[in-house]
A = this chain, B = another copy of it.
Amino acid sequence: MKEPNNTRARLLDITFEEIYKSGYNATAIGSILKRANIPKGSMYHFFDSKRSLVLAMIKERLYPKMDAFFDYTPKPDISIYKNFEQTFLMMSRHELMVMYGCPLHRLMVELSAVDVTFDALLLTKYEEMLAGVTTLLKEGVERGEFSRDLDPDSFARFLISSTWGVLSLSPTISSSGEFNKHTKYILTLLTTYKRTD
């Protein structure tokens, strides 16, 4: 029996890395193939274009990674505030994230305005993240941890976009320390909505 063919998998792995680091347009298909030691024929056997290779990479690598990383389920034994705190801590320890920013964001910025298919695909995940963060905040309000003045949806948008903002300055400016200060401000703002009565 032929041993499991890992060409497609390796191709997706390396495509993820290259696109993450250099972006879509700046990454030549040839450089991916060279690094992966995979001939062109193989690639065009599995995918019919660079676009569909990257589309598959997004679905089969990027999204699973994000799903494994973020957990939007409110934990009964932990305050929602603490929950956010922990997630930010995890992010700050994720070297790639601090170094290259959020891969979803990078692709959105580069491709959303240009390609409808990418646009739709990437937006879906953004909305999923948004819904997740919103859920957590809603739960916080319902638990009475936060005041009803807190608008979960709009705060979630602020939280995500501002965090993408700092991360997008990497690697030029942003460092782990920079990110931690950012976290502090977000959490301070969140504290503003804590109920004290």
Chain A contact residues, CB within 8 Å of chain B: 22-23, 25-26, 105-106, 108-110, 112-114, 119, 123, 126, 154-155, 157-158, 161-166, 168-169, 171-174, 178, 181-182, 185, 188-189, 192
Question: What is the total number of copies of this protein in its complex?
Answer: 2
Distance between Cα atoms of A121 and B105 in the complex (Å): 24
Q: Are B23 and A185 in contact (CB under 8 A)?
A: no
Please indicate the chain B residues that have their CB under 8 angstroms from the CB of A109 in the complex.
Answer: 106, 109, 168
Distance between Cα atoms of A158 and B33 in the complex (Å): 40
Out of B162, B173, B192, which one reaches A188, CB within 8 Å? Answer: B192
Distance between Cα atoms of A173 and B112 in the complex (Å): 10
Out of B154, B162, B171, B172, which one reaches A165, CB within 8 Å? Answer: B162
